[in-house]
């Protein structure tokens, strides 16, 4: 019997919460916002986490698109870590 797992993919969206006026494409997943990261910052230019600026403890994360997908054991999906 083949076991399948349900995983969540998270993708950073280049829009702010105010710019989003409709649900994700095909109502696939959900947009989330209002999250903070402590001790680091998100650099929207390079799209990676960087060291935080001096005396800045928290950084607001951009809008993220979270969606579920079925992970089939033995099948590799390119670009997913």
- pLDDT 10s digits, 24-38: 887 788 999 999 999
Is 67 in contact with 8 (CB distance < 8 Å)? yes
Q: Which residues contact 13 (CB under 8 A, 6 or more apart)?
A: 20, 31, 62, 63, 64, 65
Q: Which pLDDT score, from 0 to 100, does residue 47 have? A: 87
Q: Which pLDDT score, from 0 to 100, does residue 13 have? A: 87
- What are the sequence ranges of the domains in the chain? 4-19+28-72
Which stretches in the chain have pLDDT values below 50? none
Tell whether the torsion through CA atoms of 73, 12, 14 and 44 is positive or negative. negative
Could you tell me the pTM of the whole model? Answer: 0.68
């Amino acid at each position: 019997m083949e076991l399948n797992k349900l995983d969540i993919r998270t993708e950073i969206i280049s829009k702010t919460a105010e710019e989003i006026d409709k649900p994700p494409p095909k109502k696939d997943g959900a947009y989330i916002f209002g999250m903070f990261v402590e001790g680091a910052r998100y650099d929207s230019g390079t799209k990676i986490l960087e060291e935080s600026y001096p005396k800045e403890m928290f950084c607001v994360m951009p809008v993220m698109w979270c969606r579920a997908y079925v992970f089939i054991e033995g099948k590799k999906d390119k670009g997913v870590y």
